[in-house]
Amino acid sequence: MSIFQDALLNIRTTIEQLLPAQPCVLCGRMSRDGQWCAACDRTLPHLAETHCPACALPTPAGELCGHCLKRPPLFTHTTAAYAYAYPLDRLIQAMKYRERLALTQAFADKLSQRIARSCLPDYVIAMPLHPAKLRERGFNQSLLIAAAIARPLSLELLPHACRRVRDTPPQSALPWKERKKNVRDAFCCDMDLSGKHVALVDDVLTTGASLNALAAAVQKRGAAEVSAWVVARTIKK
């Protein structure tokens, strides 16, 4: 190790020691690594590097999966940080249903690390909640994640470009085959997006029905390319 590298390592170690320690949300040990400690981070279900570029399902060599070859989604590329599995699923549930909103920044940081800087979008749009659901929950976790990603990347976030116009039952409460029908025409876009590349942000991608419906809404307003950014991808067993 060179003197320069050794000096950088010492500076980094000093900075880490100055950061406030907090209990890891997974193991409870004091940590200076953020919401969860480095040891617990290694146990999280990070998404495999070789996966379908369209929907992020694992594939042997990173090729398009069979489903996307037969029925490609309206979004052309998906970036995901994790597989939706234990214990990551518990963290997402804590964020959404127990108001652990500090986790939104942690998720945004991990997702941002996966986003290719060579093809950043013109706009970022979060999965919108119906006003009734927003009043009930008090926040839109997807919007918080989207804002935390857009800000450091100097991307324009459009918090009001799209609306959820139908108050549909939660997708998680429905069988997979019924989810597409549940969100059909559930969204509208009020902004001209002609020729633009738009990134749609959500917490979890399961069947892709919600993201596909939102992608349809932005394409109706002229979006030329639609990407999906999600914290976690459900891997069907």
What's the CATH number where 189 sits?
3.40.50
Specify the pTM. Answer: 0.87
What is the SS3 assignment for 172? helix
The per-residue pLDDT for range 208-217, each reduced to its tens digit, is: 999 999 999 9
Supply the range of the domain harboring residue 31: 1-43
Residue 69: φ, ψ to 5°: -70, -40
Here the tokens at position 73 are: 């989604």
Clarify whether residues 147 and 228 are in a common domain.
yes
CA distance 30 to 37: 8
Clarify whether residues 185 and 164 are in a common domain.
yes
Clarify whether residues 190 and 172 are in a common domain.
yes
Here the tokens at position 89 are: 């699923």
pLDDT-based confidence at 33, cuts 50/70/90?
A: confident
Query: Structurally, how many domains does the chain consist of?
Result: 2
Question: Would residue 82 be called left, alpha or beta, if left means φ above 0 and alpha means ψ between -120 and 50 degrees?
Answer: beta
Range of lowest pLDDT (15-29, 71-85, 91-105, 191-205): 15-29
Strands in 77-83's sheet, in edge-to-edge order, are: 77-83, 225-233, 197-205, 123-126, 156-157
Clarify whether residues 120 and 29 are in a common domain.
no
Clarify whether residues 39 and 107 are in a common domain.
no
Clarify whether residues 86 and 196 are in a common domain.
yes
The DSSP call for residue 234 is -
Clarify whether residues 35 and 100 are in a common domain.
no
The per-residue pLDDT for range 81-117, each reduced to its tens digit, is: 999 999 999 999 999 999 999 999 999 999 999 999 9
Clarify whether residues 9 and 61 are in a common domain.
no
Clarify whether residues 106 and 189 are in a common domain.
yes
